[in-house]
A and B are shown apart, each in its own frame.
Chain A
Amino acid sequence: MFSKRIAQTFLFLFVILSLALAGCAPAPQPTTAPAAPEATQPPAAPATEPPAAPATEPPAAPEATEPPAEPPAERPVLTMIFTQEFDTLNPYYTNMWFSQITQSFWNCWAWTFDEATAPVPILVSEMPSIDNGGITEGGRVLTFKLRDDLVWSDGTPLTADDFVFTYEMVINPANTVAQVSPYDLVKSIEAPDPQTVVVTFEEPYAAWIGTFWRGLLPKHILQPVFDADGTIDNAGWNRNPTVGCGPFNFSEWESGSFARFVANDNFWLGKAKIGEIFVRFVPDDASQIAALKAGEGDVGTFFAYSDVPELEAAGVNIIKSFSGYNEGFYFYLDPEKSHPALRDVNVRKALAYATNRQKLTEDLLLGLTVPAATLWDNTPYVDPSLQPYPYDPEKAKQLLDEAGWIDSDGDGVRDKDGVALELTYGTTTREIRQDTQAVFQQELAEVGIKTELQNFDYDIFFSGYGEGGPAATGQLDMYEYSNVVTGYPDPDTADWLCSEIPSDDSPAGVNWSAYCDEELDALFLLQATQVDDAARRATFHQISKMIYDKVYWLGIWQDPDLFGISDKLANVRISGVMPFFNIFEWEFK
């Protein structure tokens, strides 16, 4: 009897406790207080408050259930749906695309790029060139002239000192930034006056336009942090950058849920027409599509090609933006350890002729893109004569016959010297890639090439040599993914450099093909120093043709980024480099 009473009491208490917990839990965050954890709140205070009504009386409202409705006409909120949450907002600590694309909201690049990938000055008054004296000493010295009306969002002048500080933080080994490159090539950076930044390199450096000054760190905020902690790794600003230099001010970021940016009155290119950007993190693709269809998001991105018809039917405008990514094959070509067939250029050409990439883009990618010829498609750096290899299985068979790969034992698979033409073909687990594998496996089987398909989780697939990554360590004869040159729209890449072949002594190398073509290597080293764009283009025409002719890389499809934009929005232009480069000009119709 005693135990029964206890059981009853326990059950009752449990129910009460659950109710209490459920009831209490949301209480700490109702009617979100304005962010403002750092003392230096911008003077444009009203603009940094989230929804107008509750923000006017911060401490009073925790019990208020429903605030009065917002006046949307006054401060329209633009809702974006991101399938990934940013890891950090510090521009130099992240590699994530979803963090980088928000930098055009609240941080500033020295110059951005428009939809035609032409540079658009933001902090500099004009792009440095040989003609205007911005590029001197054969490309060893770059002089950036800054506008004289630059201010951080808190009103502090933005000067050349902030550039020097940014450089110093990036190269300081106490800071675990994501990328030191290209700042590690710099010999010195000086600020002779508040509007001038002079960068001196050891060697002429051609790729600066695609790599330099992508984001700026506010010296007046972060210098004290660095002085106190010896690093800015743990700075609150990284996650809570209340002082910025973009058309919007960062307002708040709630882990896993949302981030909010409100218009910056101090932005020198004009005040944003949209009052607020609300970024919601929705990790599930199907949920993103549902939210876009339900009108709960104005902008979505990174969805599958197969979702496009459904979105278009729901009235969502689709914008394709070529951001330099091209899906293609790399081949493991180590002179000793690779499959002997792949070392023969004719076999690689046969792979190109045997796969119907035109039909693939029409069927699997719904005709939304076209086959890729080179890694530099849609840029001026590709030899204009290059077209994707056509589908010609007969030619593929002929090339294989000529190369000595014939089906001698009648098992349907070609062989030579007792080695079967059987290739491992690996990629990530992305659905479209698995579909592509199935199609190509069939097509290659028709010309007598057997493929063993393998799929890996993203981070395992891209693991380096030292971590035993399947592509990096030559476990895959051919591997497929979508790649981009590092500093797009700059064409430079390290993927074929002889010095980048990974080994036990140099496990971090990125030339996973493990092949050194000295002629190609020399061209890559040459272009890296060619500050004259015309000369550099000529070099890249040679490079792209050589890679195409020798099939060191075989293009499958051009992989544009897809953006779903609500038909309520106007003035939307999307750049392949910095998608929302003109976000301050967007407006609701």
Chain B
Amino acid sequence: MTRYIIRRLLQAIPLLFIISVVLFVMMQNMGDPLATMGGRTVTRSSERARLTRQLGLDKPIYVQYLYWLVGNDWTKIDLDGDGVPESAGRRQGILRGDFGTSLVNRGVPVVKVIGDRLVNTLLLMLTAELVIIVGALLIGIYSALHQYSVLDNAITAVTFFLYSLPVFFFALIVMYIFAVNFKRWGLPYLPTVGMFDPQVGKTPSQVAWHMVLPVATLSFGFFAAYSRYIRSAMLEALNQDYVRTAKAKGLPRPQIVYIHALKNAALPIVTVVALDLPFLLGGAVVTERIFAWPGTGRLFLDHVSRGDTPVVMGLLMMIAVAVILFQIIADVLYAWLDPRIRYK
């Protein structure tokens, strides 16, 4: 097993290298970071020429990639534009742990730019994931136990209705109902945007209160998928011989359902969750944007639109590494959980 894990990790190195090259090349076609620099006018020609040189964007793409990978502190760069490289480079490259500095937030290390947002994203996404799992378990088990009952059909219909709503639509609808109109009608209302009320301050209760709508938006749509999964797994388990045996033994119903059936039915869910986890790092672009939640999804969008290669590469590589790691973990878990699977 150890050899298997080591082999998988070694295999990941060329994979990450290829991913980074492809992403880096793609990023070069995502717009010009100096076109407007977020402003409302086109950057003046002289400024563009100067910044292109100072930021190293005038170098061929393979040189830019090389600097990103291994840094440029072993060479000299031309800052003053006289054609003679005179200043020592300062970058160390990601292989030495330097992800560079943001082009947009000039001078701010990429690790800080991403780190500032990652906590918020994890808070939102893990909460949503938890709500999804708990909600889907409740719905899925109920539906399996009461197959084709009126409530089962009703729940199925409602969850699929929510599933088919576009996220932005659901988000704006709940915002208008529970934040704008409830306030107008004099009812207790939820906040529209942000993480806290500035008059009160960033307290845990404020943050939790502001999370209600975004978490609802992120989780309600996913109840359908997860609960259907649990429902079918539970149905399959409930029809197994060992459940019939348990029933014949006269075990109490809760014990049969929650101990005998659910334990087995939960196995595939664990796999699905493990594979979903790395993508939580990427945040939820639409939900974060609408509810002004300061997460990585918005960060990605903002920095892609301004061609900020270092930050976008940092985010994408973080997700790529997480995906590879979690895949290895999922594979290892498989072998651990199911004795029939063996890796050599």
- Chain A residues close to B by CB (< 8 Å): 2-8, 10-11, 14-15, 18-19, 21-22, 25-32, 50-51, 53-54, 64-67, 69-70, 72, 77, 79, 81, 84-85, 87-88, 93-97, 173-174, 176, 178-181, 184, 233-235, 238-239, 254-258, 260, 276, 278, 280-284, 286-288, 290-291, 293-296, 325, 457-460, 462-464, 466-467, 469, 482-484, 486, 494, 500, 502, 506, 508-510
Contacts and interface: CB of A to CB of B under 8 A. Distances in A.
B292 A284 contact: yes
Contact of B172 (A11, A235, A286): A286
B138 to A, nearest CB: 13
B332 to A, nearest CB: 12
Contact of B46 (A19, A28, A54, A508): A508
Q: What are the 4 A-B residue pairs with the smallest beta carbon separation, nearest first?
A: A256-B294, A95-B39, A459-B31, A508-B45
Given A7-B266, A287-B291, A325-B40, A260 B198 contact: yes
B341 to A, nearest CB: 10
A77 B295 CA distance: 25
B106 A176 contact: yes
A81 B294 CA distance: 14
Nearest to A65: B205
Interface residues of B, number: 96
B2 interface: no
A278 B292 CA distance: 14
25 contacts: A3-B337, A10-B333, A32-B202, A50-B201, A94-B37, A176-B51, A179-B47, A181-B44, A233-B106, A256-B116, A256-B117, A256-B293, A256-B299, A257-B294, A283-B298, A290-B172, A294-B180, A296-B193, A457-B305, A459-B32, A459-B306, A463-B35, A464-B35, A486-B41, A508-B48
A256 B51 contact: no
Nearest to B195: A257
A459 B289 contact: no
Interface in B38-71: 38-52, 54-55
Given A180-B50, A234-B108, A290-B176, 15 more contacts: A5-B263, A7-B266, A10-B333, A11-B269, A30-B204, A31-B202, A65-B205, A174-B87, A254-B116, A284-B289, A287-B175, A291-B192, A463-B32, A509-B45, A510-B45
Contacts of A64: 203
A486 B33 CA distance: 19
B133 A287 contact: no
Contacts of A7: 263-264, 266-267, 270, 337
Contacts of B52: 466, 508
B216 interface: no
B339 A3 contact: yes
Given A6-B336, A176-B54, A233-B106, A283 B39 contact: no
Nearest to A488: B41
Nearest to B79: A173
B321 interface: no
B31 A460 contact: yes
B127 interface: yes
B73 to A, nearest CB: 13
